Structure 1
């Protein structure tokens, strides 16, 4: 989403020096402002980070479950109990989506 406002701003800068391009400069500037305000209002950056963190967290849990297969039998249950607690913690974060109605703490 950052590329579009940058391109529109660069176009506006170059086109401002050209004769007869004032309408296009205004349109490109308005488009850049709209893109920036839309990104800020919807919080795409925060949501992207949230989804990456959640995906990474679940991948770590899956990796740990694979690791549990090679543990000695006397340590498997303790490891899986700990991993179960981590899974529940990850599940508890599901409602914390940034800039959404469900992220209020109750």
Structure 2
């Protein structure tokens, strides 16, 4: 198999890995949850009429629940995890493109470094915060 064919196969695999590390959902849950927790906590402090005197307690409880959920599920760290891995995979792709264009010893050195880095990134796949560790 030629280096070009190997590159295409590896590129497809890395692009698949990049797409698996889309940080949008965790970003939305972290940032949206924080904003919502702030909003309901602020709303709980507003003077309410007597006929809805129960509402501040419900809002305060909701704010506490949202903060607790973020602490337990750690959406912020998961968001950073996905960004970190997506960027690491993109860096591998960029460096591999340069390695394909290099020649001789320089190419071999670049490919060896890229292979080691890719192995390290793949091994960190199971490190997602609050995730189940990978076996094996």
Structure with the bigger RCO (C-alpha within 8 Å, sep 6+) is 2
1:103 CA drift (Å): 6.9
- CA 1:51–1:92 in structure 2 vs 1: closer, same or farther (change >3 Å)? same
**Which secondary structure state, in structure 1, belongs to the residue aligned with residue 67 of structure 2?**
helix
Partner of 1:11: 43
Aligned partners of 1:42, 1:74: CA distance in 2, in Å? 47
The alignment's TM-score, normalised by the length of structure 1, stands at: 0.86
Partner of 2:34: 2
Residues 1:37 and 2:88 are matched in the alignment: no
1:4 CA drift (Å): 0.6
Partner of 2:56: 25
The alignment's TM-score, normalised by the length of structure 2, stands at: 0.68
List per-residue Cα deviations over 1:46-65 (Å, max 9, x = no partner). 11111111111001101111
**Which secondary structure state, in structure 1, belongs to the residue aligned with residue 125 of structure 2?**
coil
Give the paired residue count: 103
Long gaps (5+) in structure 2: 1-32
Long gaps (5+) in structure 1: none
1:76 CA drift (Å): 1.0
RMSD: 1.9
Higher helix share: 2
Choose the corresponding residue for 1:64, options 95, 116, 120: 95
